[in-house]
Amino acid sequence: MSLENYRQQPAVFAAFAAPTLIWLLLFFIAPLGIIWLYSFGENVSLVDIETTWTLDNYARIFQPEVLVLLWRSLWIAGISTLVCLVIAYPVALVIATAHPDKKPWLLLLIMLPFWTNLLIRTYALLNILGTRGRLNDVLGWLWETTNTLLTKFGLGEFQLIGESFTPLKFLGTPGGVIFGIVYVSLPFAILPIYSSLERLDKSYLEASLDLGAGQWRTFYHVLLPLTAAGVVTAGIITFIPALGQFLTPDLLGRGQVDMIANVIERQFKRANDWPFGSALSLFLLYITFVLLAVRSFYDARKAHRS
Amino acid sequence: MKANTKKPFEYSRKWSLRLVFLTTMVFLYAPIIVLVVFSFNNSRRGGNVIWKGFTTKYYGKAFANEELMLAFANSMTIAVTSTIISVFLGAMTAIFLWRFRFPFKPLAEGLVSLPIIIPEICMGVSLAMFFSSLDLWTSGDTPWPFNLSNIILAHITFSFPFAAMVIRTRLQNFNREMEEAAKDLGASEYRVFRDILLPHMRPGLIAAALLTFTLSLDDFVITFFTSGPNTVTFPVKIYSMVRFSITPEINAASTILIVLTLLLTFAALRYQRITDISNDG
């Protein structure tokens, strides 16, 4: 299909393109421009900000307490992404190799929780992650069962798994926040891996196995390298929203495990320090751009090779 | 290591992988099921810890909560309005990107997909600052539903690029020869659009509408920044209830929204055959 040159029908082109471009300019670029100006500004009164081109707001990002916050956000988002990828790969593999009739239903099963409101999903976790919550019930039950089994095998007196079950504390700990981020972002990780598995030429796997490589060797040396692009995409599109998560650290972290977004929110809603909040938001935006650039670099290199 | 008795691509038959899949499903669904079950719990406080018998009274309470119902009406109004405008704008975007060759096209494509990618909090903050610096905030005494216009503008901005994406996918398999044939037979540009292109786009428009409706209904972060004290949406109201205290009433309100989302999803499936899901991937 050939595309029309816009010069052939400039009026039609303008009629279709103008509303979009005007909308984006007005409600997307201009707002970002305003916080860009604010990020170089100072509070002159409670609500008035003057752009003095100061770099103080950016310098504040490199203060120790903000660096601690950035580092915490990065490692929490990083570990959550890794956990997501480790779970997502086998799940995507099951869907991609399922019977063609079942595939769409399995995908729907993955997508359905994703379409449920983020706040509600986080609230649902808040209910089960408490020290007396359902997750600790399940863990307690697992402990009991294991203990009974160990006793049956005559190992009871060694107390291999501890004397008694102590409920784990999830709320207000990084563990709870990671649990929450994995829960809300798992579908982001599954779908790109699934689509790279779908496009895979399965004869490579047959060849590898025919030539005597085992299942694990085939996985590490054939399957994983061939789907690496999907894994990188999955990692990046899981990591970006994870890094900017507001609700999970807010509700599950209970103020103990703040991430970037929580501090940004505080600058605008309570601390009333818009210039610093703007600088921090833009900093988050720049990290996003760097990650996207890494991805296009990776894609370009891959395209160059093949 | 086991002998390879199975074909390599039959991973879905391996019990270990099936177990991982099953555990993941339990992980994804158990919290939501617990939430729904405990919305029927007859316990006033700490309602999500101990089961104290079946009741539907918290649904009654949720429906009688005027603030919650106003928030629900707000959410629906915002979702309907922003869906209509987003689909219209998204269709225009999809058509000009699909049909024309023009300078800086990659730049335009990047710009359109940017609202999908950037962190929600950046968008929420920037729109809030935009409205306040230009003094566009709707004041407390703006009559309903015009006091919702800030939120509606914000919702259109983050959802029309999604609509454009869905509609453009549909346009990719449009047969341009049909258009040429119609033009050869004397149809005007407008008639070609109305009688040929538009009917072809219809399923894409419906899919886009259902997607943007869900996105609008789901959004918390951007709405949180662009809403005022008088313009609370359903998720924002639930959030303030959660911060205040956890009661089965919140579970009931959440369940109502979950059921609504499920209904929308199944409506979407009626228009888009289930097999399309795996083909889109």
Would you tell me which residues 147-176 of chain A have a C-beta closer than 8 angstroms to some C-beta of chain B? none
Contact between chains at B12 and A94 (C-beta distance less than 8 A): yes
Residues of B in contact with A202 (CB under 8 A): 8-9
Contact between chains at B250 and A123 (C-beta distance less than 8 A): yes
Residues of B in contact with A1 (CB under 8 A): 176
Q: Which two tokens stand for residue A258?
A: 């703040």
Residue B62: closest CA among B41, B46, B39, B80: B39
Question: Among A186-200, A273-287, B114-128, B137-151, which stretch is predicted with the lowest mean pLDDT?
Answer: B137-151
Establish if A112 touches chain B: CB-CB under 8 angstroms. yes
> Does pLDDT of A62 surpass 60?
yes
- pTM across the whole model: 0.87
Which pLDDT band, with edges at 50, 70 and 90, does B41 fall under? confident
Contact between chains at B281 and A90 (C-beta distance less than 8 A): no
Establish if A35 touches chain B: CB-CB under 8 angstroms. yes
Percentage of residues in chain B with pLDDT exceeding 70? 88
Contact between chains at A243 and B119 (C-beta distance less than 8 A): yes
Query: DSSP letter at B41?
Result: B
Nearest CA in chain B to A136: B49
Establish if A194 touches chain B: CB-CB under 8 angstroms. yes
Chains A, B: CB contacts under 8 A, how many?
262
**Hey, what CATH class is A63-131+169-305 in?**
mainly alpha
A28 vs A115: CA distance, rounded Å: 25
Contact between chains at B281 and A108 (C-beta distance less than 8 A): no
For B228, what's the count of Cα atoms within 13 Å in the CB-facing half-sphere?
17
> Does pLDDT of B19 surpass 50?
yes
Residues of A in contact with B275 (CB under 8 A): 104
User: Which of B102, B218, B246 lies nearest to residue A117, judging by beta carbons?
Assistant: B218
Query: DSSP letter at B1?
Result: -
Contact between chains at A183 and B20 (C-beta distance less than 8 A): no
Is B156 in contact with B208 (CB distance < 8 Å)?
A: no
Contact between chains at B254 and A123 (C-beta distance less than 8 A): yes
User: Which of B31, B130, B225 lies nearest to residue A124, judging by beta carbons?
Assistant: B31
CA dihedral for B171, B172, B173, B178, sign (positive or negative) = positive
User: Which of B24, B218, B246 lies nearest to residue A118, judging by beta carbons?
Assistant: B218
Residues of B in contact with A113 (CB under 8 A): 28-29, 32
Residue A112: closest CA among B273, B39, B266, B120: B266
**pLDDT at residue number B280:** 45
Higher pLDDT, B118 or A48: B118
Mean pLDDT of A165-174: 85
Residues of B in contact with A38 (CB under 8 A): 129
Sorted by sequence, the CB contacts under 8 Å of residue B3 that are 6+ apart come out as none
Residues of B in contact with A35 (CB under 8 A): 122, 125-126, 129
Residues of A in contact with B160 (CB under 8 A): 20, 23
Is B222 in contact with B133 (CB distance < 8 Å)?
A: no
**pLDDT at residue number B281:** 35
Establish if A14 touches chain B: CB-CB under 8 angstroms. no
**pLDDT at residue number A306:** 64
Burial state string for A91-108 with b = 16 or more CB within 10 A and e = fewer than 16: bbbbbbbbeeeebbebbe
Which pLDDT band, with edges at 50, 70 and 90, does A194 fall under? very high
User: Which of B17, B31, B221 lies nearest to residue A93, judging by beta carbons?
Assistant: B17
Mean pLDDT of B69-79: 93
**pLDDT at residue number A266:** 92
pLDDT in tens, A1-24: 467 888 888 888 888 899 999 999
Nearest chain A CA: its distance from B281 CA (Å):
5
Nearest CA in chain A to B131: A31
Interface confidence, given as ipTM, is 0.85
Domain residue ranges in chain A: 63-131+169-305, 134-160
Mean pLDDT of A83-105: 90
Which pLDDT band, with edges at 50, 70 and 90, does A225 fall under? confident
Contact between chains at A208 and B129 (C-beta distance less than 8 A): no
3-state secondary structure A100-154: CCCHHHHHHHHHHHHHCCHHHHHHHHHHHCCCCCHHHHHHHHHHHHHHHHHHHCC
Q: What is the mean pLDDT of chain A?
A: 87
Contact between chains at A127 and B242 (C-beta distance less than 8 A): no
Contact between chains at B117 and A23 (C-beta distance less than 8 A): no
Which residue of A4, A12, A27 is the best one to mutate when testing the B interface, meaning the one whose CB has the most B CBs within 10 A?
A: A27
Question: Among A98-107, B87-96, B221-230, B265-274, which stretch is predicted with the lowest mean pLDDT?
Answer: B265-274
Burial of A73 (0-12, 13-18, 19+ CB in 10 A): buried
Contact between chains at B238 and A38 (C-beta distance less than 8 A): no
Tell me the backbone φ, ψ of residue B46, rounded to 5 degrees.
55, 35
